[in-house]
Chain A
Amino acid sequence: MASNAQAQIPGGRMALGRISARAENVIFDSVNVVLMLFVCIVTLYPFINTVAVSFNDSTDAVRGGIYLWPRVFSLKSYETILIKTSAIPHSAMISALRAISGTLISIPLSMMLAYVMTRKDYVLRGLITKLTLFTLYVSGGLIPTFLTFRSYGLMNSFLVYVLPPAISGFNVLVMRSYIAGIPFELTESAKMDGASEYRILFTIIFPLALPVIATISLFISVNQWNQWFDTMLYCSSTRNLSTLQFELKKVLDSANSMSGDAVLAEALGSSGDGSSGRVTTQTIRAAMTIISVVPIACVYPFLQKYFVKGLTIGAVKG
């Protein structure tokens, strides 16, 4: 691994030999900036391209060849989605609620589990770690899971959005590895002062773990925001619980559904071949992407303020 990484960094340590650290820093920084600019170009391009396509005329976009800006400007795709689909505002609110409440439920619960997993003296530690970890790799399958959740009374209920995903093995283990890195002395001295485990967790660990909490919050809210499959499974007949992604999926499906002569062709049976007709509408797809990405993509810059260097250590010393 390490040798790989070295080879990847142009110059590497060997080539630099005895050049002074200062010179190395300058070279490193310049190479790094160039590399990062490259990363930005490569990762920003698909997004810019999607924006360009979303503002292009739909029929014209079929021709392809749109790169950085629209060829024939049109707002029609956004109009179709935002104006003609009346459910969008309400479903966006449900999605936001999902993201917020899902995070608020999941974070304390995950913290609790992550914390007990770091306690090496805890007799149930192994069991709880394994139970949490293996959830990542087992699934009961679509129909059994559906029937089980249904028997819990989660059909057509907002709870189905936030309760089942409350504990994610991945998130808990990431939190655990962070909490495990918090100096032992801190919790130990608090314990000697007679603090309860709850107090240790919520008043000492919690503020120290803010960077990882911010990270996991981001993961949870992004995940919640992007979900539509559970809406389809459990809440598709309750309009009040429809989510933005589900509504957008509807728009996409309607754009994909057979059109014009296709309906006729189907009736004739000549399209009995590929019964699910596919007429792609690229601009709708692009506009959908933009509508759903922009709100959630803004969460990260907001959370970045919690990624402040030395937060943990500062607290330890203070």
Chain B
Amino acid sequence: MIVHSTQAEAAIRGVGKPRGFWATLWKQRQLVVLSLPVLFVLVFSYFPLWGWLIAFQNYRPSNKIGFFQQEWVGLRQFAELFADPKFFRALRNSLGIGALKIICSYFFTLLLAVLVNEIRVSWFKRSVQTISYLPHFVSWVVAANLIFVSLSPEGGILNEILQRLGITSSPIAFMGLPNAFWLIAALSEVWKSAGYGAIVYLAVMTSIDPSLYESADMDGAGRIRKIFAITLPSITPTIKIMLVLSIGRLLSVGFEQIYILMTPSTIDTATTLEVYIYTFAMKLALYSKGAAMSIFNSVVSVVLIVLSNTFAKLLDGEGIM
């Protein structure tokens, strides 16, 4: 093993020799061929980015005038966005819900994967896996109805439980509590997506060498110790990449869920950037404002991802980029 890595390092050093970039590229032409699928990304993801120009226009769909004949307004769309106090309220909510979602989803998904992995009875393990991923397929409209009904102050199951246990004396109107909204959004997301998200971890866990567990058994290690000493370290790369990826999506809270779960009583805490932009731009067909918002979102995401990548590198010398 050691020998091999030294050889590999030698190979890398070889690249560093003053052979020139093109020469190395020619040497790695097979890898270049294997990189060709990146063309898909260029063609289907990056080329449409010309649309960002819309953010600097006052765009109205038209086939009468050409794209460049649209009214150009410079940074006005951005200025208008940043001048609106409601934008910052929405930003606050997006950050809050986004962060809470990442923390909860991330933690519970991993916990679920670890616990499912520890199930010893094969059929039970498979059943738990299959059942726990079912909510992913239920649309938010259907899910929201169940959430509203379970949290209802009128005979909702949660209030029944709380009252029977004597925790509260009168029923709580959860869906109308502005302070509860962030948590409801985060936990309902966990409920809907933890099982689906756990699949990745479960797949990676299959690659852990069983002999590691066997030797740990001989050392008399308990289950919990094995989780922390073997299971989690073995899937660290995946844990890390999932975290970095989700941090990049901090502001993408998920429009449908929030829009359906919010009520007039919770507008103040529930209006995320996506809801804000839908209400004040997309619903009114103000595409330029929507594009400005989308650029803002992308910039924030890229900054976040670079930051978290740098942080990951600081931690153990290896980032994802």
Contact = CB atoms under 8 A, between A and B. Distances in A.
Interface of A: 1-2, 4-6, 8-9, 12-13, 16, 20-21, 24-25, 28-29, 32-33, 35-36, 39-40, 42-47, 49-50, 64, 109-110, 112-113, 115-116, 119-124, 126, 128-145, 148-149, 152, 163-164, 166-167, 169-170, 173-174, 176-178, 180-181, 183-185, 188-189, 196-198, 201, 211-212, 214-215, 218-219, 222, 226, 282, 285-286, 289, 292-293, 296-297, 300-301, 304, 307-313
A43 B135 contact: yes
A5 B108 CA distance: 9
B32 interface: yes
Contact of B34 (A44, A112, A143, A214): A112
A119 B35 CA distance: 11
A300 B321 contact: no
Given A50-B138, A178-B203, A310-B209, A28 B51 contact: no
Contacts of B172: none
B115 to A, nearest CB: 6
Contacts of B200: 174, 215
Contacts of B52: 140-141, 144
Given A40-B132, A46-B146, A215-B199, A140 B38 contact: no
Contacts, number: 303
Contacts of A36: 115-116, 119, 124, 128
B130 A300 contact: yes
A129 to B, nearest CB: 5
B40 A109 contact: yes
B290 A141 contact: yes
A129 B40 contact: no
Contacts of B232: 2
Interface in B98-139: 107, 110-112, 114-116, 118-120, 124, 126-139
Given A21-B220, A126-B321, A43 B40 contact: no
B274 to A, nearest CB: 13
Interface residues on B, range: 35 or more
B100 to A, nearest CB: 14
A49 to B, nearest CB: 6
B63 to A, nearest CB: 10
Contacts of A47: 134-135, 138
B68 interface: no
Contacts of A135: 41, 45-46
B248 interface: yes
Contact of A307 (B31, B149, B202, B210): B202
A35 B115 contact: yes
